[in-house]
Amino acid sequence: MKTIEPNLGDLIALRRQAARRASDAATEMQEGAATGGVRTTLRLEALAVLAGALIAYDRTGSGWGLFALLFLLPDLSMLGYLAGPRIGARVYNVAHSYLVPLGIGALGLLVALPFALPLALIWAAHIAFDRALGFGLKYEAGFGFTHLGRVGRQDPW
């Protein structure tokens, strides 16, 4: 039986081809990301939402201990990445979309659930805080690819 030995030149060519494909995918994801003044505006809007959520939360009379306890809870959605980038992005995006806290807050107001509005405001504050820092909704290419641009060392912010 003949053994096949890898040719170093072929291995290097395959590595370069894989790197080129990854780079092309990253470039494609970044084409859908906000840049420049639009990105800055989105992040400033997030700061405004954060301020509004904090003020509204203070007016609910709920304790700040509860706020501190629940503030990072939506980040547990990052565990979805253990199942891969596609599922991870979807789980993360559900937990980091304003739709869920808005629904909870509206339900709380309509049905008079006293815990719902503070919960919704904490959740919205978390999302706004993340967006202000540049952590946007995720693309399936990986955690670092967001609608607000690339997160990581390449990020100028």
**Identity at 66, one-letter amino acid code:** L
In this predicted model, what pLDDT tens digit does every residue of 98-110 receive, in sequence order? 999 999 999 999 9
What's the whole-number mean pLDDT along residues 4-14? 69
Are 27 and 20 in contact by the 8 Å Cβ rule? The answer is: no
**Per the structure block, which two tokens stand in for 51?**
């301020």
Task: State the helix-helix crossing angle for 116-132 and 36-60, rounded to 10 degrees.
Answer: 150
What's the whole-number mean pLDDT along residues 125-136? 95
Average predicted confidence (pLDDT) for the chain: 87
In this predicted model, what pLDDT tens digit does every residue of 14-66 receive, in sequence order? 677 766 665 555 555 556 787 888 889 999 999 999 999 999 999 999 999 99
Give the single-character DSSP code of 97: S
Q: pTM for this one?
A: 0.77
What's the whole-number mean pLDDT along residues 110-138? 96
